[in-house]
Structure 1
Amino acid sequence: MKSGGSAKMKDVAELAGVSIKTVSRVLNNEPHVQDKLRRKVKEAVERLNYVPSQSARSLRGNRSYDINLISHSRNSPYINSIQFGAVIACQKLGYQLSISLFEELNGKPIDAIRAAFEALMLHRKPDAVMLVAPYAGNEKIDYVLQELGIPVVRIGPVDISHRGVLVEIDDHKASIELTQHLIGLGHKRVGFVRGIEDQRATHVRYSGFCVAMDAAGLSVEESLVRKGEFDFESGFEAGEYFIGLEAPPTAVFCSNDDMAAGVVSACTVSGVKVPEEMSVVGFDDADVATRMRPLLTTIRQPLDELGALAVRELIAQLNTNGKAEPKRIVLGHEFIERDTTAPSPVD
C-alpha cells in the first residue's frame, strides 16, 4: 500500500474498507454519507497522506477545484491571516487557493471591473471567489459577480449579506465592549480614529463606540474624532493631533491595530506615557499588537478561522448544488487586555 503522497483513491478505499465511490463522496464533502464511514475515509486519507489530483477531477467535470482570493494589497496583515486559514481548509478538502491582486479596484468603472473578472474566469477558471474588505462590500463588484454567475464568499462586515456566503464577527458588539473597558477605567474624554470611509467596518465600529459612550452619559466630541486610513501613518498623524490639543483625550479608540500602533508611537516621540497619561486600544489583534511596546489592548478577530470557515461553507454548498446560497455566519470575538490601558489620570 502506498504512502508519502503517492497513494491513490483505491488505496484509501482499501484501507478504509469502503468503495471508491464513497471515498469520492467524502473527499467532495457531499451529504448523506454515514458519519462512521466518513471518519474511516478521513483516517485513511491522513494515514496515507493522500492528496486528491485536482487535474484529474477537473477533467471529469466542469470544475477547477480552485477558489480565488481577491486581494487589494500585497502587504495586508489582515488578508494574510485570512489567507492562511483558507489555504489550510482548501488543502484538507482537496481544493487549492489561488490569489489575484487587483489593486485600486474600488475606484475603477464597472467596465474595468468586468474586464478584470472576465480575464480571471478565462485564465484561472475558479469555482468561486473569496472577497475581503474593501472589495467584499463593493456594489459594482457584486453586480459583476452576479452578471457573470460567479459564486462568492465574503468576509465581513459588509451590507451585502443577501447573496452568497458571509462570515464575520459582530464588530458593533465588540466595539461597545472595547469602549466600555475604557469607560470602566474612568475615561470620559475619549478620542476615536476612524478607518477608510468606504469600508463598513469604519462605520460599524464608530457606531458601537457612540452607543457605549451615550449609554454611559458621555458625549462624543467632534474635535476628538479623526479620519484614518487603517495604516500606521494615519494613526501617527492622529496621535500627534490629539497630543497637540490644549486638553488631550485621556484615551483613544483606534479602528484597527496599525493605527493604534501609530498613536502609541506618536506618544513615545512626544514623551507622552502610555498608558499612564493616555490609554490606547486597537481592533483585530494583528501581529503588531504583540510586537509593539507596550503590548496593545485590542479585540481579537479569529482571522484564520474566518478564512477556514468561509472555505468550508463555500465548498459544502458548491458540492451540494453548485452555487453559494445566501448564508450569514457570525463567529465570536475576544477582548484582549494588555498594557496600553490604565485608569484615567483625570477624575
Structure 2
Amino acid sequence: MNQPTPHAEPIDPKLFRQLLGCFPTGVAVITTRTPDGTPVGLTCNSFSSVSLEPPLVLFSLRKASSLLGTFVEADSFAINILSQSQDQLSGRFASSRIADKFEGVAWRPGPLGTPLVDDCLASFECRVHARHEAGDHEIFIGEVKHMRSGCADHALVFYKGAYMMLAESLRQRVLEGQLGTVDIDEAYRALYGKLLRLACERATPEEVDAIEAAVEEIEQHQGADALPRRIEATARFFSSISLAGHNEALRLMAQTMTTVLRERMTHVIPVRPRPDVFPLRRKVVQCLRTRDAEGAVAALDELITMLRRDGAAHAEEAAVAAPVEH
C-alpha cells in the first residue's frame, strides 16, 4: 500500500534566513584584485573548510553582487578572518555606500598578489580550484597556497543577525549590575511600544496567534520548578511581538533586549508566579487583534510598571527577612 506523500509547505525566505542565523559563524573579508590591479573585497560569513588534502576552502557569493564578475575573472582570492576588534571593518566591507573599501585600511599584497588585511586572526591566500552555480549564489572553492596567523584576539562571531561580542558584553554588564532597572524599563517601553504599533498595522493573524500561544505558556508554567520554561515563554512573548512588527532593524534590537531579559530573570531579579498580571498580557493580544495600538501599548506599559513595582517590594521583603552576617 502506497503511503501518501506528505504535503511540503513552501519555505518562507525570511524565516529561513532567521533560522540559519541560529548557527554562529565567523566573519571574514574576502579580497581579490580587478584586472587593472585595484584591490576589492567584501564581508562574508559563508567561509568554510572543505578538505585537508589538498587544503581547500570555500565561500559563496550572491549572483546579485556587484563584485561577482571580478571574482569570476580572478584566478586567486584571499580569506581574511576578522577579530572582534575589527567589527568596523566588517561593516565597511559590507556597505554598498563606500566605493573604495580599502581607503584608510592597512593591507599588504600576499605572495599571489591578493590583498591581505593587517591584524586579522588569520589569512589564507588561495588559487581558484573550482566554481559552482548554486541557486542564487556562486560557490568559489580555493586551494590554499599561502597562509599566515595574526593577532591573538578573539574571533568576531555573527549570531542571529548580530555580533556575539555585543550579546556577551551585555550579558556581562547585566550580571555585574551595570545596567540600571530604570534604563532597561525605559528601553522596553520605547522599543516594544514601537513594535506593538507596527504590529497593529502589519501583523498577520498567525503572528498574533504565536504571541497568544506564548502568553498561554507563561500562564501554564507558574510553579517554582517551572522557572526555566517560564523564562523561555516570556522571551518568546517578546520575540513574537518583534517578529509581528516586520521591521528587521528593530527585530535585531529586540534580540539584544531578549538577551538582557533572560539574564536578569535567571540571575538578577526575583521571579515568582504573577497570575495578577495575566489579564494585561491578554489585553495586549486582544488589542493586537482589534488593531488598537494605543490600547496595546498602554497594557504593556502597565505590565512593566506592575512587575517592577511589586518585584522591588518582594526583593525588599526578602532582604529584610534574610539573616544578617556578623
TM-score in terms of structure 1 length: 0.23
Bigger relative contact order (CA 8 A; separation at least 6):
1
Larger radius of gyration: 2
TM-score in terms of structure 2 length: 0.24
The structure with the largest strand share of the pair is: 2
